[in-house]
């Protein structure tokens, strides 16, 4: 039976851990051909090996989403290996949380570069291929932080809301041949907290994760649901959060 995803070629950024890794494993398990992209190549190779051992199809590509040439190369390799690209999942993200008046300008720039420009670079790399094919699907991983604004999350939420805006704008601009979906996870068990510079923010987010975080596979299942729909069906936005999250 056609499950709506078998043999689709899917590129996934930030695929070395967390949500990106789960998306790769879940989609490969349903028969997709996955192209895993991240900077941590050792982790990527381990995931690709595990997928292959389970009978799936996967390759890894070293890529930094803040470098446009890397994203172009990612798409070129995907097409060279599998002959096409059906889905671009813009998942890579960082969070350097702090009060705005603390003026962590370096943290702001990192979030803008990865969370916003990285998504735009992914879209820019995939779009010409989708236009030539007459079909394609962009999936942008956003965040519930942009839905409920909280102290210390102002700039992070701003980058995520920018992605939400451009996702909806593209949906309205598209003639339907290229679909786009925004998925906003709530608290998910990932490495996000461990990479935060601010000790207070790191401890606070880690506490949320310890008490309520969803498994990354729940988000991966939402991605599968969105891209498995028939071509005439577009899932515009999904919000996936723990049932106890405010």
Burial of residue 29 (CB within 10 Å: 0-12, 13-18, 19+) is: middle
What is residue 115's DSSP assignment? I
How far is Cα 23 from Cα 52, in angstroms, rounded to an integer? 15
The b/e string for 31-47 (b: 16+ C-beta within 10 A; e otherwise) is: bbbbbbbbbeeebbeeb
How far is Cα 181 from Cα 227, in angstroms, rounded to an integer? 9
- Tell me how far the alpha carbon of residue 14 is from its chain's centroid: 7
Cβ contact 18:188 at 8 Å: yes
SS3 185: strand
Phi-psi region of 103 (alpha: psi -120 to 50; beta: other; left: phi over 0): left
How far is Cα 120 from Cα 145, in angstroms, rounded to an integer? 20
What is residue 188's DSSP assignment? B
Catalytic, out of 82, 108, 121, 156: 156
Query: Can you read off the two tokens belonging to residue 6?
Result: 């078998």
SS3 84: coil
Pairing of strands 9-13, 237-240: unpaired
Q: How many residues does the chain have?
A: 246
Active site residue 156: yes
Catalytic residues: 156
């Amino acid at each position: 039976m056609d499950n709506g995803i078998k043999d689709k070629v899917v590129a996934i950024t930030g695929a070395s851990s967390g949500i990106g890794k789960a998306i790769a494993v879940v989609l490969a398990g349903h028969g997709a051909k996955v192209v895993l992209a991240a900077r941590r190549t050792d982790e990527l190779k381990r995931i690709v090996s595990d997928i292959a051992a389970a009978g799936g199809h996967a390759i890894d590509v070293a890529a930094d989403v803040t470098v446009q040439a890397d994203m172009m190369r990612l798409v070129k390799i995907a097409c060279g290996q599998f002959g096409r690209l059906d889905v671009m999942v813009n998942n890579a993200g960082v969070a350097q949380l702090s009060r705005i008046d603390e003026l962590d300008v370096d943290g702001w720039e990192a979030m803008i570069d990865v969370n916003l420009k990285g998504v735009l670079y992914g879209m820019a790399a995939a779009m010409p291929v989708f236009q030539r094919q007459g079909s394609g699907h962009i999936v942008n991983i956003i965040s519930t932080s942009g839905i409920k604004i909280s102290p210390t999350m102002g700039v992070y939420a701003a980058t995520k809301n920018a992605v939400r805006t451009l996702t909806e704008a593209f949906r309205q601009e598209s003639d339907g041949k290229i679909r786009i979906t925004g998925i906003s996870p709530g608290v998910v068990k990932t490495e996000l907290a461990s990479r935060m510079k601010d000790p207070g923010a790191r401890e606070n987010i880690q506490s949320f994760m310890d008490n309520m975080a969803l498994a990354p596979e729940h988000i991966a299942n939402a991605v599968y649901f969105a891209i498995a729909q028939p071509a005439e069906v577009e899932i515009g936005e999904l919000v996936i959060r723990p049932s106890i999250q405010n």
